[in-house]
A = this chain, B = another copy of it.
Amino acid sequence: MIRVQSEPFDAGTETNLFLSRNANSGGVATFIGQVRDFQDQDSGSSKTISALELEHYPGMTEKELERIAAEAHTRWPLNDILVIHRYGRMDLGEAIVLVCAAATHRGDAFSACEFVMDWLKTQAPFWKREHSNTDSSWVDAKKSDDTRAERWNKND
């Protein structure tokens, strides 16, 4: 199931719902990406990031996420996949994305979950803008995301 929404969601509640929908799967791997508290880590920077905003391409986003989830289903024996992704403005500590993959064998669940995250990061049409105390600016794409996504091609 794919959900793209601006409203906050509760990662724990969604995980529990996914678990009970998949009582016939032994293993569930999940990934949660949250707006991290930058101040703790980028202590060298004078910029204080207070929020971030994700613009997206309504319609295409859903299609891309459906396509990525379908691709995961063709690659691994999975019972279910859930992707919840937010857009719009988000505050520190809020969940941005939740991916859950349910499978009989944990290796399949882990691989599918990581695959969905890697493809999502390079192919789902989201663009991040950081709001700080001084300005707001678009964030550049990361080469490391391309590298991670490409790993999944090599194995074909």
Contact = CB atoms under 8 A, between A and B. Distances in A.
B23 A92 contact: yes
Interface string A1-35: 00000000011111110011001111111111111
Interface string A26-63: 11111111111100110000000000000000000000
A106 interface: yes
B104 A114 contact: no
B29 A33 contact: no
Interface of A: 10-16, 19-20, 23-37, 40-41, 92-93, 95, 104-107, 109-110, 113-114, 117, 144, 148
14 contacts: A10-B12, A11-B12, A12-B13, A12-B14, A12-B15, A15-B32, A20-B93, A23-B93, A26-B36, A28-B33, A30-B30, A36-B104, A105-B144, A106-B117
